[in-house]
Structure 1
């Protein structure tokens, strides 16, 4: 039985030009150079992918319960022409477990015709109880720069449900769904269907936030500990190290991985067995706040960066930032209650600043590793680790908005304005 493909999308909200709120995809004037969207128009749509007869960890206890797994995948892609910008509408679970609907203004046009060409594929995995639309700022940004971005909606149980069965669902389905979407993208690209027709799956990248970070690191090759079979109520039993399908989760043609505040590095969750993330050979960019209380920093994300010995990797640390670094800024509907607001905002950093810095470095990293653009190396490989140490001796004085040229004229990171590269560090370790 073949998986089913269905086209569809949320209807755009029509707004008069004067009433359109600022999209989080459009950075503020103090954003680093590569944060701005590219030159290509952006389209978006959704597809439904169906994987038959999947074990349901939420309902499987004494006996296995099988059900078709239906994934709605949000696509962002280079479009043939510009169209009306849409507003996304999507829910997140409230404190009582009930959905809170909110809206996010975008720059993409709903169901625009895809551009012709071949564009690298990016699979974008959201966090526990999140949705693809909270990462629209990144999906749209990358599509405008010549990537096709596929973001599955994983349909986790509400994060407020603390049962063993509820926690088993994201642990089981993240790597399974990511591998399935990669496989389906390859099949549909070969058949020339929809927006996938322009996807070049020989150049694939994975990006994951939080629980999605655990998913992409697993799909990049980190072997699952046999204990994960029980923790997922049997759903991952065929895929743990030593099992019959242990290699089936690894995404082929992988050129790069971006793990934003990924779960899996702290003692609270140890999903992998030796060699763990050291089994990953694709270049990797880790992004984390050093005050992350959800997945940990050290131990936590820094632990993974240190352990991934067989791949070139970067660690971008946003000092004093917490866990909610990747979600869009709090929309109006989420500003009335602490629980809802806490999904989105950081205690210290401006959210638009967090998103802009990440878009800048993710662009440089993917352009270099996936597209082979070595001019982007200058944005990643500087003379300093700590942004506060950067110097630009010949920078014009005053409120100058130009960007640092980087080495050798300046040690200030390339692409940052004077006084705007603060409270960050960027570390690099080569493959051993």
Structure 2
């Protein structure tokens, strides 16, 4: 929030925000006057605006029974365990007379890392906790969100709230053994990302059926689903949507796990993988998807993608890679109608909320700030642009809205202001579009 005073930080206490500045003064603000993640800046593009619905939010647990406990595999033997997954759900709500304000509780740091101890923190969002869902004669499309490694289900609240306000049921997963509070061996993330996503899709489909007494029963259209993933979440959503993992990953996984072949079921041309193709998935948004530069995918695997995909990346991504990473995935997904939105000079953090106030405090490890921060871009600005393009992309597919003009723009945003952007405000971006190979050949 711009106040005309430099070097300010926000400290959250319940529903109040104290802004401490280098002038030595302290300004007490109510949440009604505080900029909250996802709010529209003056130069926000058109579709960044919130939709017509009040947003409700709830948390509950799903349990995927009898899954491979890859962290305890030994000599090629895979024990089983139950995977407990916390999920946060945002939805159109009936909350007349209630203030659209919620406090989210999250954590900085890494479990079992003395250099980065766990630091609880809170931040505000624009939703009503445990509100009743809106009464409707129809159903809302489903969106499933998968975070990075490590991360949390609350990493993209600016986007999850925004989409729910536009008529979506949005479910974000805490991937067990991959969050800040329980981060464990990387092999769990490699194995379980896509499996968690598909399990949650099945569970949401089941819970939405009439007679379940679930609060989402009758209003969730799981047969009309979009997947959104960031970094390792991007890795997961691409696999869940049809991109089989390579033989190289299968081999590396076996070495990492003492001979386990558990990941074979998610590799290209595997019988179980081919049978898992899910027609309920209609669109994918992959923020900075990881793995291409590590040999996770090959040409055959990427050609398994047939659903429309929006890739979002920074041209200087030093985690997932750009030319040989994210852009190479975009190029190789020959059978998908796909877009690549690039933030020129941005690095990896093109998806999350901006750094929380807790990460700005003296004595906190710099890595807590840089886990969120983007060095070349204003992250509230990135958030607004993401809201705009994700709305345009999935809205045209899942809600059949006429949003094509927002995507049908010249690749270089510096040449002419893009449709939906205020005059002179669309600089520093590139949007590429490629049609499916089979479509082109016709």
TM-score normalised according to structure 1 size: 0.86
Residues 374-425 of structure 1: per-residue CA shift (max 9 Å, x gap): x21011102x2100000xxxxxxxxxxxxxxxxxxxxx21111112111001
Post-superposition, which runs of at least 4 consecutive aligned residues in structure 1 deviate over 4 A? Answer: 12-18, 157-162
> In the alignment, what sits opposite 1:303?
328
- Please report how far the alpha carbon of residue 329 of structure 1 lies from its aligned counterpart in structure 2 after TM superposition: 0.9
The structural deviation recorded for 1:326 is 1.0
Contact 1:102 1:334 in 2 (8 A): no
TM-aligned CA deviation for residue 98 of structure 1: 3.1
| Distance change in 2, residues 1:89/1:323 (3 Å) | same
Task: Tell me by how many angstroms 1:250 deviates.
Answer: 3.3
Range with greater deviation from structure 2 (70-79 or 59-68): 59-68
- Say which of 70, 73, 93 aligns to 1:60: 73
CA distance in 2, matches of 1:161, 1:80: 35
Picking from 128, 150, 165, the partner of 2:171 is: 150
Determine the C-alpha separation between the residues in 1 that align with 2:204 and 2:182: 32
2:41 paired residue number: 28
**Which of 131, 143, 154 in structure 2 is aligned with 1:112?**
131
| 3-state secondary structure, aligned to 1:245 | helix
In 2, the alpha carbon distance for the partners of 1:185 and 1:221 equals 20
Alignment of 1:78 onto 2:105 = no
SS of aligned partner of 2:323: coil
For residues 42 and 217 of structure 2, the distance between their equivalents in structure 1, rounded to whole angstroms, comes to 34
1:89 aligns to 2:105 (yes or no): yes
Q: For 1:298-337, list aligned pairs within 5 A.
A: 298-336=323-361, 337=365
The 5 A counterparts of 1:123-142 are 123-142=144-163
Structure 1: gaps spanning 5 or more residues: 1-11, 391-411
Q: 1:280 aligns with which of 305, 311, 315?
A: 305
Alpha-carbon offset, residue 57 of structure 1: 1.5
Q: CA deviation at 1:25?
A: 1.8
CA root-mean-square deviation: 2.3
C-alpha deviation, 1:332, in angstroms = 1.1
> Tell me, what secondary structure is at the counterpart of 2:303?
helix
Counterpart for residue 24 of structure 2: none
Cα displacement (A) at 1:198: 1.1
1:43 aligns with 2:46: no
Residues 197 and 51 from structure 1, CA distance in 2 versus in 1: closer, same or farther, beyond 3 angstroms? same
Q: For 1:47 and 1:168, how far apart are their aligned partners in 2? A: 26
Gaps of 5+ in 2: 1-12, 18-27, 438-442
Question: How many residues matched?
Answer: 394
Q: Please list the CA deviations of residues 266-308 of structure 1 after superposition, one character each: whole Å capped at 9, or x if unmatched.
A: 2x2x223441222111111010000100000001111011111
How far did residue 227 of structure 1 move? 4.3
